[in-house]
């Protein structure tokens, strides 16, 4: 008889590699049933999250099938970058739907500070596993794939994953991300001689009117074609609020004057999740504008925006994977705090 009824493994699995496989094999030895929570569900494709949930589930199931591990439940879970308590609560809810009674253990590996979340489930046993496959890094694997060096990391991948990634590199989704990867690599190179890692400050506008939010489509990398909030980098000679107003007018040509826009600011908040932007450490000061209008103002795409448009708020969830970085989460943050 095994020690636990259920073992829970939490990760992004971008991609699922042999280090993850070691965790699952360990879980199969100590628990009767395995629950795998796949994070960053519905996150936009990016060089940090290149594979969608369906692709990652396929990676996992095919890899485990090859090892004779079949009794596994896979649960997708969206991120809560700016509400960690909400994320913990949703993990608990997902598990409670499956487990009405029985013993539970969280199986995980503390690779660095990003593994702190494993300590937030004191009601369950925590099984800390020493990785049995040294030198594995999902970041290094992704970099090798984008640099057409998958052969260099094939030994770290289950055969099924290596085969599927090889096919994926022939698709348009890969080509788009590879172009972005090269852009980011070149962007970071400009700052590699700086005495300290640079920290960038941006200002973003969340303009709400008549149940809609004002968005743009990004014209260039990173995030070419993604939905985004009007915004950009703060100039040396301006305040952050002024930068937000300037970027809003430049990118959308919104038919409202500066003074009226400034008077419509209802909330402001800093969004600083460390990995929110592929260019580096980018901290955004976002401002929520609540427009008191009888019809939506006229807008026209300008500056580096490919398109400007009003999106009904109820469509944010269904389009979450189309947003740039954490912009969908920023919109939802303000909606939830604007009571």
Query: Bridge-partner residues for 282, per DSSP?
Result: 200
Quote the tokens at residue 287.
């401002």
Rounded CA separation 141/12 (Å): 14
Rounded CA separation 67/264 (Å): 59
Rounded CA separation 312/61 (Å): 37
Active-site residue set? 307
Query: Bridge-partner residues for 215, per DSSP?
Result: 309
> Under a CB-based contact definition with an 8 Å cutoff, are residues 87 and 105 in contact?
no
Rounded CA separation 183/203 (Å): 22
> Under a CB-based contact definition with an 8 Å cutoff, are residues 302 and 253 in contact?
yes
CA distances from 199 to 101, 188, 233, 272, 286 (A): 48, 12, 11, 11, 16
Question: Phi and psi at residue 150, in whole multiples of 5°?
Answer: -60, -30
Quote the tokens at residue 203.
């200002």
Rounded CA separation 11/121 (Å): 15
């Amino acid at each position: 008889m095994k020690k636990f009824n259920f073992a829970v493994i939490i990760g992004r699995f971008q991609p699922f590699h042999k280090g993850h496989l070691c965790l699952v094999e360990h879980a199969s030895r100590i628990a009767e049933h395995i629950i795998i929570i796949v994070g960053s569900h519905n996150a936009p494709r990016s060089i940090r999250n290149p594979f969608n949930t369906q692709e990652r589930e396929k990676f996992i199931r095919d890899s485990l099938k090859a090892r004779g591990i079949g009794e596994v439940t896979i649960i997708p879970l969206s991120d809560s970058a700016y509400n960690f308590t909400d994320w913990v609560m949703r993990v608990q809810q997902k598990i409670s739907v499956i487990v009405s009674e029985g013993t539970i253990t969280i199986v995980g590996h503390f690779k660095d500070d990003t593994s702190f979340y494993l300590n937030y489930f004191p009601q369950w046993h925590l099984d800390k596993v020493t990785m049995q496959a040294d030198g594995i890094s999902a970041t290094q694997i992704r970099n090798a794939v984008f640099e057409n060096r998958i052969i260099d990391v094939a030994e770290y991948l289950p055969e099924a994953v290596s085969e599927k990634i090889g096919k994926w590199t022939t698709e348009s989704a890969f080509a788009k991300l590879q172009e972005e990867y090269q852009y980011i690599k070149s962007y970071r190179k400009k700052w590699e001689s700086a005495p300290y890692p640079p920290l960038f400050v941006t200002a973003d506008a969340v303009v709400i009117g008549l149940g809609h939010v004002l968005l743009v489509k990004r014209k260039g990398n990173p995030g070419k074609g993604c939905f985004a909030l009007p915004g950009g980098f703060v100039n040396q000679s301006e305040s952050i609020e002024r930068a937000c107003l300037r970027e809003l007018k430049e990118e959308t040509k919104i038919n409202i004057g500066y003074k009226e826009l400034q008077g419509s600011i209802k909330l402001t908040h800093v969004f600083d999740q460390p990995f929110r932007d592929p260019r580096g450490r980018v901290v955004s000061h976002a401002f929520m504008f609540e427009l008191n209008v009888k019809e939506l103002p006229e807008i026209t795409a300008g500056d580096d925006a490919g398109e400007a448009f009003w999106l009904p708020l109820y469509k944010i969830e269904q389009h979450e994977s189309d947003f740039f970085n954490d912009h969908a989460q920023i919109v939802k943050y303000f909606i939830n705090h604007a009571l």
